[in-house]
Chain A
Amino acid sequence: MEKFLTVLDSASDALTSGFLITAFVSAAAVLCGAILGVVFGLALTYGGRLASLPFRIVVDVVRGTPVLVLILATYYMPSGIGFSPGPITAGLVALTVFCAAHVGETLRGALRAIPSAQTDAASAIGLTFGQTLSYVLMPQAIRQIAPNFVNTAVEIVKASSLLSAIGVGELLLTTQEVIGRSYLTMEFYALCGLLYLLLNLGIGAGGWWLERRFRIQ
Chain B
Amino acid sequence: MTPILTIKNLTKTFGASAVLRGVDLEVFPRDVISIIGASGSGKTTLLRCIDLLEEFDSGEIRLDGEILGYRDKGGRHRRLPGRELARQRARMGMVFQSYNLFPHLTAAQNIMLGLRKVRGMATAEARAVAEGWLDRVGLADRRDHHPSALSGGQQQRVAIARALAMEPRLVLLDEVTSALDPELVQEVLLTIRGLAEAGTTMLIVTHEMRFARQVSTRVVFMDGGAVREQGPPNEIFGNPKAQRLRDFLANVSH
Contacts and interface: CB of A to CB of B under 8 A. Distances in A.
B89 A140 contact: no
B148 A125 contact: no
Q: For this complex, into which size category does the number of interface residues on chain A fall? A: 20 to 34
B162 A125 contact: yes
A118 B102 contact: yes
Interface stretch (A34-42, A67-75, A95-103, A129-137): A129-137
Consensus secondary structure, chain A interface: helix
Given A129-B82, A135-B117, A123 B89 contact: yes
Given A118-B100, A143-B104, A124 B163 contact: yes
A127 B114 contact: yes
Contact of A126 (B102, B104, B114, B148): B114
A117 interface: yes
A131 B93 CA distance: 18
Contacts of A147: none
Contact of A216 (B89, B100, B104, B114): B104
B148 A127 contact: no
Interface residues of B, number: 32
Contacts of B193: none
A128 B163 contact: no
A182 B100 CA distance: 65
Nearest to B145: A217
A121 B102 contact: yes
Contacts of A129: 82, 86
B84 to A, nearest CB: 10
B90 interface: yes
Contacts of B82: 128-129
Contacts of A136: 102, 113
B113 A216 contact: no
Given A120-B96, A135-B117, A217-B149, A125 B103 contact: no
Nearest to B166: A125
Nearest to A121: B100
B76 interface: no
A140 B114 contact: no
A128 B113 CA distance: 12
A123 B163 CA distance: 11
B118 A127 contact: yes
A125 B133 CA distance: 15
Contacts of A78: none
A128 B83 contact: yes
Contact of B104 (A117, A122, A125, A139): A139
A26 B161 CA distance: 47
B82 to A, nearest CB: 5
Interface in B18-50: none
Given A125-B118, A126-B114, A140 B96 contact: no
Contacts of B128: none
A62 B113 CA distance: 38
B147 to A, nearest CB: 9
B89 A126 contact: yes
Nearest to B103: A216
7 contacts: A120-B94, A121-B101, A123-B85, A127-B114, A127-B117, A143-B104, A216-B148
